[in-house]
Structure 1
């Protein structure tokens, strides 16, 4: 989820914790738990600082080791230890358990995004992405804000957020059913489907869809339960030419390939350089595929420049990176 949603979830868990008799509403443990749930709800996303280095590092590592099983316990011990220094009167066990719960919930809800997490590391590095909730879901965020406002006006925070989370469980079940219905309908429209990747949007009834068959990629959208086929591409394996091999040595390209499950590729040869581009097919927007990886190599196959990330026009891409013009 996005940072804002994790913040309001941390506050909500601090309110929910008041149902714990040891935590209560107004005592040092309640104060410590509130800080613990807020900080714990943010801690796994500390890897966002990788953006300061480059997009390749961020794409390859975000929601990786910081969302793993060992990291969950490391975060909880560190946060609990820090808070007991500042609020020594708090109950250590209950502070730890609620902080741990906040961290676990952070990782758990991230699984439902299209991006997913490596939540089962170190047992497997497989990305777990259920693709039913957008990174920012307006309904989930608004429900948390409503709960906080009700709390401010005097309602019991524990029962308020317990009610809200019951509603949100129902919301998740509805989203599961919606996605399953889309997949079922796609199999009726397109024969021989190998894999369907569905990415939710911020709009409740709109979804991005990428479909793989033996010989084609299909790009589609689901809008108000109607399947709209947008593009079709021949599924051509990436050839292991010298140019491609040299391009795959670039950090931006290798990061993209480690992250994207469905993409097409292009190789262009110019008088003084080569250009290799990989295009993620999951996020078509206004006729454009904004998530790309591109590398330019000179005629000796030395990497001149490269980029991976979100870009919404060719002009901005070349201006931002000062790439060799076509």
Structure 2
């Protein structure tokens, strides 16, 4: 999820913590719990530090080890230990519990997105992504903001956020079952693999069909799928594409994403090969493109990652 959602989730969890008898009977713990849940709700994104080593490194490391089982436990322990020192070392286990909950919810919510996480490291490096929530979901945000406003206006926070999280869980369940409905609506063809991607609306989804030699991109609305783009797969037969695939970063992307598409841009001094991940089709989904620059002899000149709004190549 986006940072704003993680922050509001942390505040909401602090409100929910009033159901804990220890916190309810010690009002002075509120600030400490709030620190633990808000920071904990953002702690796994400490991997943003990789940005200082460049976008390529960040794309490779984002939602990797920092979202793993050891990291979840370590981040929760260190944060709750630090905050408990302000209370003379008391209430560590209470603070640890709510910190751990906030960090786990961060990872679980990221699993619901397109990007996913390597949440089960060190047991497996497989990326887990359910593709049922957009990076920013207005329904999740609205429900949490309503709860926060009610809390500010004196409504008992524990019960308030019990209902908030119950509604959020119901909403996510609805999205999950809606995703299954979309898959059933696809006119499945032999030797095609389908992936559906969420939008803001629970009734509108992007569909990608992976065929033997090409991808098909479509939209699900009103109970049916309309196909709009067909893109060739890049299997390395083209010598320019083949040369770009020797780049270490592109090689890693090909292992990570099943939906990479390359576009060749001819330049006066050689070529650029733009690698698009077809799963990211809007600004809010953190799209990126890997750009490999080659000279006329197909030698690598430079490679970098561009972030921001990126248009998927036109129909071919």
- Aligned with 2:289 (options 283, 288, 292): 292
Q: Which residue of 2 aligns with 1:39?
A: 39
- 1:208 Cα deviation (Å)? 1.8
What residue in structure 1 maps to residue 262 of structure 2? Answer: 265
What is the deviation of 1:298? Answer: 1.6
CA change 1:21–1:235 in 2 (3 A) is same
Q: Identify the match of residue 281 of structure 1 among 264, 278, 281.
A: 278
8 A contact 1:29–1:90 mirrored in 2: no
User: Where do 5+ consecutive residues of structure 2 fail to align?
Assistant: 312-316
RMSD over aligned CA atoms reads 2.4
Q: Matched residues in 2 for 1:11 and 1:185: separation?
A: 39
CA distance, structure 2, for counterparts of residue 266 and residue 85 of structure 1: 55
Q: Is the 8 A contact 1:68 1:118 kept in 2?
A: yes
Which segment drifts farther, 71-80 or 190-199?
A: 190-199
Q: After TM superposition, list the pairs within 5 Å mapping 1:108-119 onto structure 2.
A: 108-119=108-119
Are the structure 2 counterparts of residues 296 and 62 from structure 1 closer, same or farther at C-alpha, using a change threshold of 3 Å?
same
The 2-side partners of 1:7 and 1:111 are apart by: 17
Which aligned pairs between 1:304-319 and structure 2 lie closer than 5 A?
A: 304-312=301-309
Residue 17 of structure 2 is matched in structure 1 by: 17
Moved more, 268-277 or 114-123: 268-277
1:236, distance to aligned residue in structure 2 (A): 5.0
Q: Give, in whole Å, the separation in 2 of the partners of 1:17 and 1:69.
A: 23
Q: Would you say the 8 A contact 1:263–1:279 is kept in 2? A: yes
TM-score by length of 2: 0.88
Q: Find the aligned partners of 1:94 and 1:285 in 2 and give their Cα distance.
A: 40
Q: Distance in 2 between matches of 1:313 and 1:79?
A: 37
CA contact (8 A) 1:293 1:306 kept: yes
Specify the alignment match of 2:178 in structure 1: 178
Aligned position for 2:106 = 106
Return the alpha-carbon distance in structure 2 between the equivalents of residues 268 and 13 of structure 1: 49
> Residues 291 and 306 of structure 2 are in contact (CA less than 8 Å); yes or no, is this contact kept in structure 1?
no
Partner SS for 2:24: coil
Question: Shift of residue 246 of structure 1?
Answer: 4.3
Shift in Å, 1:291: 4.0
For residue 245 of structure 1, report the CA deviation from its aligned partner.
Answer: 5.2
Match of 1:27 in 2: 27
What does residue range 138-149 of structure 1 map to in structure 2 within 5 Å?
138-149=138-149
SS at match of 1:274: strand
- Asked if 1:238 is matched to 2:245, the reply is no
2:204 to 203, 206, 209: 206
TM-score by length of 1: 0.86
State the number of aligned residues. 308
CA distance in 2 between partners of 1:4 and 1:268 (Å): 37
Cα distance, 1:173 vs. partner?
1.1
Q: Aligned partners of 2:197 and 2:288: how far apart in 1? A: 14
